[in-house]
Amino acid sequence: MDIQAEKYSLIEYITQIKDIGLVEKLKQFVKANERDFWNDLTEDQKSEIRQGMSELDRGEKFDYEEFMSKHR
């Protein structure tokens, strides 16, 4: 099965739908199946992200190029 072909076929099908109720059901299905990456992170990863956000809020940040030049 070619996933790209399947996706294009699905897109084509969706563009042909005239029933708003079916479109709403499709939207609900997609929304119900979306995954929030946050829920897949470990507690350590979440903690690191929270720490980084706190540092940014306090203005503790570094220029990317400056940082990379020190680590190359």
**Which of these, 40, 62, 65, lies nearest to 52 by C-alpha position?**
62
Q: Please give the residue that has the higher pLDDT: either 66 or 11.
A: 11
- Kindly report the CA angle at 20 between 16 and 26, in degrees rounded to 5? 80
Summarised one tens digit per residue, pLDDT across range 28-57 is 999 988 888 899 999 999 999 999 999 999
Mean pLDDT of the chain: 91
Report d(CA 33, CA 25) in Å as an integer.
12
**pTM: predicted TM-score of the whole model, two decimal places:** 0.46
Residue ranges of domains in the chain: 1-34, 36-72
Confidence check: pLDDT of 1 > 90: no
Report d(CA 22, CA 16) in Å as an integer.
11
What mean pLDDT do residues 56-72 have?
87
Q: Please give the residue that has the higher pLDDT: either 22 or 67.
A: 22
